[in-house]
A and B are shown apart, each in its own frame.
Chain A
């Protein structure tokens, strides 16, 4: 037989449980004028927490329940599961990998015309938009070009990366003759050189290169082959070892930091690691040289954009817009830059970046960036896997540039 005390304790526990369930079902205290919105962050908790705290301090009527999922695959998977199960967060991130699916599924709110979208770089708006609608508040961009060892270049009479591809190949030959390994480029992803050359080409086209290909008015064979032929000269002329097909970005970076190579493809993510490994290294970033009919350019893309769930109710969507307004404000952008070191592209704040990266800042803020995977209008991942594998085969000498382009055409039409 149970004692009176046990019964009282059990009763209290049941009441407490019922109370907590009731509290949960009241949606985070909206009854007392506070709207709670859920947020699935792409940025880590350590970086995002201070921004959320500053927002809540300034907007006590909105509370954010943040959850975190690391990019890229895990975030995409988590978000996808939540969207499909009808529990999409009120605010989440639209990225290159999921933008087509999210827009097609009608899962994101059109943010065009919202005041907080006004100061954003047009390139970023276009990246996460379609047919005049804008679905993502993208605050920053990234770029990748060439990082070069100033002392090695000085050895052969250069003080920076030449502006044309032919001059660049001459520089590589001079470096090789001087006993240096001239250039390494990781090709476990789309080569930076190819992306930048395509970017230079499409920046002078209207409609764009990808608009033409995906509308069926042109082909990869027509648009990509001449660029791949130029890129392949690195390997056919013996300036770069085909062994690059087995290198990832970290291995290439380590070779550069240890002064075993003069020039590499790289982005801002290597700055800290290189400076930590070799503080004495004299180095800087430069653009990828232009082809005879092109200009120096860089690979890169708009950072993932903050989006609002179309399945959220009106009150939550309004609260979400308040959050996005804060993120796009001068204070929000500054905090975001300090937390992530990203190069922000809003009009209301000018970010300070490491001096070695300075040559790529203006192109980033001008939106002179291109990444095939972002520009492709469908089947991005599948095309990317195919392109990387075929480029590797071309570097190994198994196929020619025209075969790489033909394989992409075949993939797109399958």
Chain B
């Protein structure tokens, strides 16, 4: 043993030297860390500082026109909690976020599986499904407001009347139908994009797995649930996280499709932030709403990540 120790001892400085040469020691470490400085600065000034400023403003009556801001304690928070329109906004925002996340995930995975198969015109069909993700949601909202117009002259109502003799349907003027319409347009717009995301992960699954499964007599359904779905879990974590966070901050689609109506049926938290903050100049109040919303999004996002990671580990 002692001889071994002695034998290793002369190598130790050499190892240190090699590490020093390869990694560059403290000097290299400092240089490496220096490369992080721009990212940290950006994070600090574009995220931490505005967040802290918003937190400060939420306790003031800051209007955005004068630097003067008086401390008013929790008044802004109390106003928000007593406002029925804010609660309506919160309800639909959560409904939209959860609804689009579940539906898009349920549709995008089977779609990706189909798009992964070989057939004539595959690239064209992939592009077709991806297309709704290209225009902005605001433009899609305006177009769909004409398609879903509740008037007999609305595009969809005209088709339903001509083909099936159905009376005009109140797509956007009935509370329930309006909520469903907004969610479905959101699902239509995002499914293709998320299918492409799943497609990328599908293509990384080795074909041998399916070959072996087929030899073992597994049906296509068994292959999907035993191979495809478990190996898509990392993609599901990414996709559902993006869907949930985008759903929670949704503004442009409901704003252009229904303007938050009828009543407050499709009103969102972000619309409330814009109306109160930018429109009315009540930056204190809208900052309080933003702080509450940030906390809520943080909790929901963190919970979602924990749950999907746990499911992912179970399948792994």
Q: How far is the CA of A2 from the CA of B254 in the complex (A)?
A: 61
Q: How far is the CA of A392 from the CA of B170 in the complex (A)?
A: 14
B257: nearest chain-A partner, CB-CB: A246
Is A260 in contact with chain B by the CB < 8 A criterion?
yes
Is A6 in contact with chain B by the CB < 8 A criterion?
no
Q: How far is the CA of A364 from the CA of B163 in the complex (A)?
A: 48
Contact with A along B242-262 (1 / 0, CB 8 A): 000000000000000011111
Of A84, A188, A245, which is within 8 A of B65 by CB? A84
**Which stretch of B31-39, B116-124, B210-218, B272-280 is in the interface?**
B272-280
Is B91 in contact with chain A by the CB < 8 A criterion?
no
Residues of B close to A67: CB separation below 8 A: none
Is B146 in contact with chain A by the CB < 8 A criterion?
yes
Is B64 in contact with chain A by the CB < 8 A criterion?
yes
Asked whether, in the complex, the Cβ of A380 is within 8 Å of the Cβ of B170, the reply is no
Asked whether, in the complex, the Cβ of A260 is within 8 Å of the Cβ of B261, the reply is no
- Which residues from 313 to 340 on chain A have a C-beta closer than 8 Å to any C-beta of chain B? none
**Which stretch of B13-21, B78-86, B130-138 is in the interface?**
B78-86
Is B267 in contact with chain A by the CB < 8 A criterion?
yes
- Which residues from 90 to 134 on chain A have a C-beta closer than 8 Å to any C-beta of chain B? 97-98, 100-102, 104-107
Is B145 in contact with chain A by the CB < 8 A criterion?
yes
Asked whether, in the complex, the Cβ of A251 is within 8 Å of the Cβ of B151, the reply is yes
- Residue numbers of A with Cβ under 8 A of B are 73, 76-77, 80, 83-84, 97-98, 100-102, 104-107, 188, 241-248, 251, 255, 258, 260, 379-382, 385-386, 388-390, 392-393, 396, 398, 414
Is B150 in contact with chain A by the CB < 8 A criterion?
yes
Of A84, A243, A380, which is within 8 A of B64 by CB? A84
- Which residues from 3 to 53 on chain B have a C-beta closer than 8 Å to any C-beta of chain A? none
Asked whether, in the complex, the Cβ of B278 is within 8 Å of the Cβ of A73, the reply is yes
**Contact A381-B275, Cβ < 8 Å, known A260-B153, A393-B263:** yes
Q: In the complex, given contacts A247-B150, A389-B263, what are 17 additional A-B residue pairs having Cβ atoms less than 8 angstroms apart?
A: A73-B278, A84-B66, A101-B65, A105-B63, A188-B259, A245-B261, A246-B145, A246-B172, A247-B151, A251-B145, A251-B146, A381-B279, A381-B280, A385-B260, A396-B173, A396-B263, A414-B83
Asked whether, in the complex, the Cβ of B67 is within 8 Å of the Cβ of A251, the reply is no
A258, A390, A396: most-surrounded residue (chain B CB, <10 A): A396
**From DSSP, what is the main secondary structure of chain A's interface residues?**
helix
Residues of B close to A98: CB separation below 8 A: 65, 281
Residues of B close to A398: CB separation below 8 A: 263
Q: Which 5 A-B pairs have the closest CB atoms?
A: A246-B172, A246-B173, A243-B150, A381-B279, A105-B65
Of B65, B149, B151, B261, which is within 8 A of A102 by CB? B65
Asked whether, in the complex, the Cβ of A245 is within 8 Å of the Cβ of B145, the reply is no
B153: nearest chain-A partner, CB-CB: A260
**Contact A101-B63, Cβ < 8 Å, known A245-B262, A396-B263:** yes
Asked whether, in the complex, the Cβ of A80 is within 8 Å of the Cβ of B145, the reply is no
Asked whether, in the complex, the Cβ of A246 is within 8 Å of the Cβ of B262, the reply is yes
B278: nearest chain-A partner, CB-CB: A77
Q: How far is the CA of A410 from the CA of B264 in the complex (A)?
A: 16
Of B67, B83, B145, B260, which is within 8 A of A248 by CB? B145
Q: How far is the CA of A188 from the CA of B262 in the complex (A)?
A: 9
Is B92 in contact with chain A by the CB < 8 A criterion?
no
Asked whether, in the complex, the Cβ of B170 is within 8 Å of the Cβ of A246, the reply is yes
Of A105, A244, A385, A396, which is within 8 A of B85 by CB? A385
Give, as a whole number of angstroms, the nearest-CB distance from A79 to chain B.
9
Asked whether, in the complex, the Cβ of B65 is within 8 Å of the Cβ of A242, the reply is no
Give, as a whole number of angstroms, the nearest-CB distance from A271 to chain B.
22
A80: nearest chain-B partner, CB-CB: B64
Q: How far is the CA of A101 from the CA of B267 in the complex (A)?
A: 26
Residues of A close to B63: CB separation below 8 A: 101, 104-105
Q: How far is the CA of A25 from the CA of B262 in the complex (A)?
A: 53
**Contact A80-B281, Cβ < 8 Å, known A243-B150, A382-B276, A389-B263:** yes
Give, as a whole number of angstroms, the nearest-CB distance from A33 to chain B.
34
Asked whether, in the complex, the Cβ of B149 is within 8 Å of the Cβ of A251, the reply is yes
Residues of A close to B82: CB separation below 8 A: 414
B279: nearest chain-A partner, CB-CB: A381
Give, as a whole number of angstroms, the nearest-CB distance from B268 to chain A.
12
**Contact A243-B151, Cβ < 8 Å, known A101-B63, A382-B275:** yes
Q: How far is the CA of A75 from the CA of B259 in the complex (A)?
A: 20
Of A97, A243, A246, which is within 8 A of B279 by CB? A97
Is B178 in contact with chain A by the CB < 8 A criterion?
yes
Q: How far is the CA of A390 from the CA of B168 in the complex (A)?
A: 24
Is B175 in contact with chain A by the CB < 8 A criterion?
yes
A386: nearest chain-B partner, CB-CB: B85
Of B65, B151, B263, which is within 8 A of A255 by CB? B151
Give, as a whole number of angstroms, the nearest-CB distance from A101 to chain B.
4
Give, as a whole number of angstroms, the nearest-CB distance from A299 to chain B.
19
**Contact A188-B261, Cβ < 8 Å, known A102-B65, A246-B170, A260-B153:** yes
Q: How far is the CA of A414 from the CA of B83 in the complex (A)?
A: 8
Is B171 in contact with chain A by the CB < 8 A criterion?
yes
Contact with A along B160-192 (1 / 0, CB 8 A): 000000001011111100100000000000000
**Contact A392-B65, Cβ < 8 Å, known A243-B151, A380-B280:** no
Residues of B close to A393: CB separation below 8 A: 262-263
Q: How far is the CA of A188 from the CA of B260 in the complex (A)?
A: 9
Asked whether, in the complex, the Cβ of B262 is within 8 Å of the Cβ of A104, the reply is no
**Contact A389-B171, Cβ < 8 Å, known A102-B65, A105-B65, A105-B66:** no
Residues of B close to A381: CB separation below 8 A: 275-276, 279-280
Q: How far is the CA of A188 from the CA of B54 in the complex (A)?
A: 31
A378: nearest chain-B partner, CB-CB: B280
Q: How far is the CA of A133 from the CA of B278 in the complex (A)?
A: 26
Asked whether, in the complex, the Cβ of A246 is within 8 Å of the Cβ of B280, the reply is no
Asked whether, in the complex, the Cβ of B267 is within 8 Å of the Cβ of A389, the reply is yes
Give, as a whole number of angstroms, the nearest-CB distance from A14 to chain B.
27
Q: How far is the CA of A83 from the CA of B64 in the complex (A)?
A: 9
Residues of A close to B173: CB separation below 8 A: 242-246, 396
**Contact A389-B65, Cβ < 8 Å, known A73-B278, A97-B279, A380-B280:** no
